[in-house]
Structure 1
Amino acid sequence: MKKFLSILFSAVMLLSFCSCSDTRSESLQRMLESLTEKADFGGVIRITRDGRTLCEIARGSTGEPLAPPPYGYIKSLDNPKKWIIDPEAAQIVRDIFKMALEGKSNETIARILQERKVLIPMAYWQEKGIRKGGKVTQPNKYKWCKTTITKILTQQEYCGDIINFKTYSKSYKNKKRYDNPKENWVIFKDVHEPIINRDDFELVQTLVVKTKRRAPKKENGEKNMFCDFLYCADCGSKLWYHTNTTNKEIHYFSCSNYKKDTRGNCETRHYIRADAIEQVVMLELRRLAKYLESHEEEFAKLLAEKTNADMLAEQKTLETELNRATARNEMLTSLFAKTYEDNVSGKLSDEMYMELSHKYEVERLELKTKIFEYKERLAKISEMEQNKDDFLKAVRKFMEMESLTAPMLRELIDHIDVYEKEGGKKSYTQRIVIYYRFVGYLELPSSEDENYKANTRKGVDVEYIPTAKSA
């Protein structure tokens, strides 16, 4: 029995190396076949990894979807392994993404769908006669939950991709599914027709992380487009959106970590009017567009100097580390094969073989994670040049618009830092620093345009300064 366990362990280890290494040598494949021959138990050994059979791993590794199609897709009648768009449900998915891009929270989207009498996914499938696992736990077939909205907004499959091995089971006896680390996913891009544009999907992902707030009260109006953009420059907390209790026309933001309002630890409130921040951002974007229009070459040079030096240095370091990790990973495959041969020939005891095999496997898993992270970061760096072009296109698009909209705001700006007001009793200044997407903070050459000034209340003026503090 001990010998069988050793052989079975070797088979699993070899399978792991063969499936994860880029260099799948024929010798390793022959060793795997010989292992099953050595274990003469009157039948074929079904080797499993993470609770999956070899058959399932093979299917998932070739791009065949292992999970049922999500809401918005159905299986093709001609080929059940292919997903096609369900027009009725797909339109709801598009509406959900559109509302998310407009800045609506998940709770608000769920409320709107309920008011429109849109069936929840499970009720929709049952009405259409589509068999799905699970049962209806929501008695109201029109009551959408914000968790359902979140799930739809985070499903990459709507871009046309197939993602396998997102979950796994520890044993066929245990029906519970466990989340698989992202580096273990197998992703096949552009397999079926997309419902959502990939750029829109990526943009929504940044919003899903930021947007975790309850729906605004109806008497306070709709959610402001600057929600989730404003942050306290002192403590880094998000600024919350409020409506004045006595004058409903006054909307403002304040630090969510202010000690007197929320029992936080931020010393100052960082109060700023919603209409003021909109005017400041509009003025700054017009300055940006004006500078681009009149000094296009200088603007392009400014963007290049902003990131090129740091980007090239990081890219060189990552490439070196990636090559080192890849070489070591390939060496581990050879080392494991060598220890197996020594064990079979009797040069290496079973105990030492098991110890070395375990050591190599632990190191290989660590390298696998590192390689995934290095490749992911290098891919992001390689996209930075394209991102700069996208930023320039967004600025030019703004030049053609008369007012600022929520989708345009999300295309241009990553976040805004708001400082506390400074000054005397009747005249204040407040610093606001805008960080643009892809390029961060841009300090443009000084212009003749004046900063925005507002009379926040009778006899009190505030001048907003859109530049970072000098070191």
Structure 2
Amino acid sequence: MLSDIEMGYIYAVMVKDLSRLGRDYVSVGNYTDVYFPDHDIRFIAVNDGIDSEEGESEIAPFKNILNEMYARDISKKIRSSHRLRGSMGEPLSQPPYGYMKSAENKKKWVIDPEAAEVVKSVFKMCLEGKGNETIARILQEKQILVPMAYWQRKGLPRGGKKTQPNPYKWCKTTIQKILSQQEYCGDVINFKTCSKSFKNKTRLPNDPENWAIFRDVHEPIIARSDFEKVQTPIAKTKRRAPKPQNGEKNMFCDFLYCADCGSKLWYHTNTTNKEIHYFSCSNYKKDTRGNCETRHYIRADAIEQIVMLELKRLAKYLESHEEEFAKLLAEKTNADMLAEQKTLETELNRAIARNEMLTSLFAKTYEDNVSGKLSDEMYMELSHKYEVERLELKTKIFEYKECLAKISEMEQNKDDFLKSVRKFMEMESLTAPMLRELIDHIDVYEKEGGKKNYTQRIVIYYRFVGYLELPSSDDENYKANTRKGVDVEYIPTAKSA
């Protein structure tokens, strides 16, 4: 309509009433008072009895304000209903790729078998150590439809870009989104986005602390343990994809850290001899202008042999001293659990006590205001302050209770670790999925000694249990030939692996 007005095709605009032109009183006032007169447009609102040829209407601005107040009130009611449904665990968004709405109950998600297999393969490839770009390329080569093309083929309405020229061209951001969606564990997460007001429909990311998470609502596609394993790698800083001539990404990428400065060790390939692969500190001052004094160089084949030897020692100890190993593991997990549990319980009790005190303070403030001891202005200021603090405490109490509930899962984590070690006992070589299942991270110290004969301290931290020190005997001595003319001698000592 505005384009036609600019072209001179329209000389009058007629609406049922002012609300049909708009409910934003600023915009409506601009059109009726400025834009239409400037373009010699006659404006008529039939039910409101407004005709610009009869002169300005004194009641029009008030009607515009009332129309906006009506829209604001409707928005509040819709938001309240939306909040209520979301707080009760009803999914507020469309089901993600891999799920679809149940034919019997539209509020329930069920697995879409065809898409679910793709999701499973994405997580499997990630656990094998493949990057997002590699996974996207593999799916494209297999001629698997991207989510939007898949939904279009099945006739499912979805928002988003629908003009993708190649329906098989996967993007690494799509892979990352799939890997980061907790809904695949069977959970429903509401209020992940929000809008500023009813006038602005743009959806903005909401703070995670404001999310409402409901666990185990629908059937999971991915095991929760597998989902948690892939979160650490995808949360790391993005790195440049390795060059094809340098070979595949090493499975120890994202696991090795500098013991001195805490930075990640980067994976490199020797420029003259492509057979030599190594790791070094990403914060080394001579390579990256960082502030780490030493390079923390370690060969990729050496770290692989060291970890293999340590895991074999772990498996051997479990096989020959099962009761002692279980006792050692229990002492480790129980010590960590009790320390954290005590801290959380103290903070929880403190927050609950303060919350109860705020209730009393609010009641006293109200009584003082009614009796005239406290002015209305001071009452509003104090009540707002107490309400803000009460909401913050409510969030903290929820988080403390959730953390305490997670501590009860540590016993299950211990059993999962034992199962993983037993699974390793049946394998002949170390794989990327097994590495992610057993190890959280590895600290690498700087070399000590000469260039040819030197020692280097390596500390392995396992998933669920952290650092685990096994009793060592004097006759323990492990050797491995990593390459021609070079042997690695592995000597387990206190605080090293």
- Say if 2:188 is the partner of 1:201: no
2:427 corresponds to which residue? 401
Aligned partner (choices 127, 131, 153) of residue 127 of structure 1: 153
- Structure 1 residues 189 and 314: alpha-carbon distance in aligned structure 2, compared to 1, 3 A threshold: closer
Q: Which residue of 1 aligns with 2:30?
A: none
User: What is the rounded CA distance, in whole Å, between the counterparts of 1:413 and 1:466 in structure 2?
Assistant: 17
Corresponding residue of 2:58:
none
1:122 Cα deviation (Å)?
Answer: 1.9
| Separation (CA, whole Å) in 2 of partners of 1:54 and 1:274 | 57
Identify the residue that residue 320 of structure 2 maps to in structure 1: 294
1:441 is aligned to 2:471: no
Letter in structure 1 aligned against 2:151: W
Q: Indicate whether 1:450 and 2:477 are aligned.
A: yes
Match of 1:354 among 377, 380, 393: 380
Is the contact made by 1:432 and 1:464 (CA closer than 8 Å) also made in structure 2?
no
Residue 315 of structure 1 aligns with which residue? 341
Quote the residue 2:353 is aligned against. Answer: 327
- Deviation per CA, 1:192-212: give whole Å up to 9, x if none: 222111221122222322373
Query: What residue number does 1:108 align with?
Result: 134
Q: Which residue of 1 aligns with 2:8?
A: none
Matched pairs, number: 427
- Residue 181 (structure 2) pairs with residue 155 (structure 1): yes
Letter in 1 for 2:267: Y
Which of 285, 289, 304 is the equivalent residue of 1:263?
A: 289
Deviations 1:418-460 (CA, angstroms, capped at 9, x unpaired): 12222124312222111111222222222323143557676x7
Q: Residues 336-375 of structure 1: matches in 2 within 5 Å?
A: 336=362, 339-340=365-366, 348-375=374-401
**Correspondences of 1:6-405 after superposition (within 5 Å):** 46=73, 53-136=79-162, 138-210=164-236, 212-333=238-359, 335-336=361-362, 339-340=365-366, 348-405=374-431
Alpha-carbon offset, residue 338 of structure 1: 5.7
How far apart, CA to CA, are the structure 1 residues paired with 2:87 and 2:95?
Answer: 17
Residue range with higher mean Cα deviation, 87-96 or 379-388: 379-388
Partner of 2:13: none
Q: Which amino acid aligns with 1:61?
A: S
Shift of 1:52: 6.1
Q: Could you say if the C-alpha distance between residues 425 and 346 of structure 1 is closer, same or farther in structure 2, counting changes exceeding 3 Å?
A: closer
Distance 2:83 2:481 in 1: 64
Q: Which amino acid aligns with 1:125?
A: W
Q: 1:307 to 1:89 in 2, by over 3 A?
A: closer
Q: What's the CA shift for 1:157? A: 1.0
Choose 218-227 or 406-415, whichever is displaced more: 218-227
Which residue is equivalent to 1:29? none
Distance 1:340 1:327 in 2: 20
CA deviation vs aligned residue, 1:154-181 (integer Å, no higher than 9, x gap): 1111112111111211211111223222
Provide the rounded CA distance (Å) in 1 between the counterparts of 2:452 and 2:365. Answer: 80
Deviation at 1:288, TM superposition (A): 0.8
Name the stretch that deviates more: 231-240 or 326-335: 326-335
SS at match of 2:456: strand
Aligned pair in 2 of structure 1 residues 461, 303: CA closer, same or farther (>3 Å)?
A: same
- 1:429–1:464 contact (8 Å) kept in structure 2: no
Determine if contact 2:477/2:491 at 8 Å carries over to the other structure: no
- 1:276 maps to a residue whose letter is A
Match of 1:22 in 2: none
1:419 matches 2:445: yes
Q: 1:455 to 1:322 in 2, by over 3 A?
A: closer
Contact 2:283/2:289 (CA < 8 Å) preserved in 1? yes
Which segment is superposed worse, 400-409 or 380-389?
380-389
Further displaced range: 285-294 or 138-147: 138-147
Distance 1:118 1:280 in 2: 40
Assess if the C-alpha contact under 8 Å between 1:318 and 1:378 holds in 2: yes
| 2:477–2:489 contact (8 Å) kept in structure 1 | no
Superposed CA offset, 1:76-110 (max 9, x none): 23322222222221111111111111111112212
**CA distance in 1: counterparts of 2:451 and 2:369, whole angstroms:** 84
Question: Partner letter of residue 217 of structure 1?
Answer: K
| Equivalent residues of 1:162, 1:188 under 8 A apart | yes
Q: Note the C-alpha offset of 1:400.
A: 1.5
Q: Would the alpha carbon gap of residues 44 and 337 (structure 1) be closer, same or farther in structure 2, given more than 3 Å must change?
A: farther
Q: Which runs of 5+ in 1 are unaligned?
A: 1-41
Residue by residue over 1:254-295, the C-alpha shift from the partner in whole angstroms, topping out at 9 and shown as x without a partner, is 222222222222222222221111111111111111111112
SS in 2 for 1:452: strand
Determine the C-alpha separation between the residues in 1 that align with 2:365 and 2:321.
65
Aligned residues of 1:429 and 1:463 also touching (Cα < 8 A): no
What TM-score, normalized to structure 2? 0.78
The answer to which of 354-363 and 262-271 deviates more is 262-271
Provide closer, same or farther for how the CA distance between residues 344 and 83 of structure 1 changes in structure 2, counting only shifts above 3 A: farther
Once superposed, what is the RMSD of the aligned Cα atoms? 2.8
Letter in 1 for 2:120: R
Where 2:222 maps in the other structure, the secondary structure is coil
1:360 positional shift: 0.7
Aligned to 1:17: none
**TM-score, normalising length: structure 1:** 0.83
SS at match of 1:414: strand
Structure scoring higher RCO (CA < 8 A, sep ≥ 6) equals 1
Per the alignment, in what secondary structure is the counterpart of residue 267 of structure 2?
strand
CA distance in 1, matches of 2:399, 2:294: 39
**Within 1, Cα distance between the matches of 2:220 and 2:244?**
35
Gap runs ≥5 in structure 2: 1-68
- Whether the aligned pair in 1 keeps the contact of 2:337 and 2:407 (CA below 8 Å) is yes
The structure-2 alpha-carbon separation of the partners of 1:465 and 1:216, relative to structure 1 and needing over 3 Å to count, comes to farther
